[in-house]
Amino acid sequence: MITLYRYDAFTAVPGKGNPAGVVIETEGLSEAQMQAIAKDAGYSETAFVLPSEVADLRLRYFTPGAEVPLCGHATVGSLYALCEKGRIGEGDIRIETGAGILPISLTCKDGRIHIGMTQAVYQEKPFCGDKAALAASIGLTEEELDDRYPIVYGCTGLWTVALPIRHLESFARMKPDNKAFPGILTDEPYASLHPFCLETVNENAMLHARHFSNPRNGTVEDPVTGTASGVMGAYYKRHIAEDPDKELLVVCEQGLEIGKDGIVETLIPADPDGQVRIFGTAVFVEAYPAVL
């Protein structure tokens, strides 16, 4: 029997944050079986823990529809699970992913393990498509976009589109038409869409966001997104921060509109060529037999 664990990432409260499937005992599983498990589980991502010849361990990530190179919340959930089971402990490790070998820090604070995940160096390119169509794809008008800031494709491992929105009240009205995304995001048709604004619910947050999946992933919305929060931290430092030459900690809130509140902290180095780091914790929710 293969056990599937559910961990909610970027929260300490079960039922909040972003749920991830975690499979630890993977010996003998084929790629097709991993995909079948992820499809049946239905989480935005399910992570599979594997041995590695070049790092301390390897993680593979599957959405219900396809394998992806990296997933922040499934990484946090997987490493928290391994800590709870005594497979790894406090300190620094390296993990092999489809986006490269990434350094990880594991620290204990307030009785919980906190995972620091180094992402790839930030990449960015402008969105040159139809802004009205982009706004309409999530049920908004072009006038609701915040034209003080650019719309860009950003990547710290996965491409997402940073879409600035003027006001917080627009977020409750968003209705994504995910199938329309590839025809609008023609430079990166597998990109997801990450609307954000500077108005927040939590006083300590700097950005409020939602995250709508690319249709090939088989999900509609990701509650709290580590990779996209990495993009948003780098975006904030480059386009919004008063002093873009200083190291910056960006706090992103997400998931409130769907009752999955979570917080991601992103540390952006002073060096523009430095790697982004995200931080978060997780909580065990349940375990049950995986369906192959």
Query: 259's torsion region: left (phi>0), alpha (psi -120 to 50) or beta?
Result: left
Angle between helices 226-239 and 72-84 (to 10 degrees): 130
d(C-alpha 40, C-alpha 276), whole Å: 32
d(C-alpha 135, C-alpha 102), whole Å: 34
Contacts of 63 (CB under 8 A, 6+ apart): 38, 44, 45, 213, 216, 217, 218, 219
d(C-alpha 249, C-alpha 96), whole Å: 25
Sign of CA dihedral 79, 83, 88, 92: positive
Contacts of 169 (CB under 8 A, 6+ apart): none
Residue 199 annotated in active site: no
CA atoms within 13 A on the CB side of 124: 19
Catalytic entry in 31, 45, 199, 257:
45
Strand, helix or coil at 39?
helix
Q: Which residues are catalytic?
A: 45
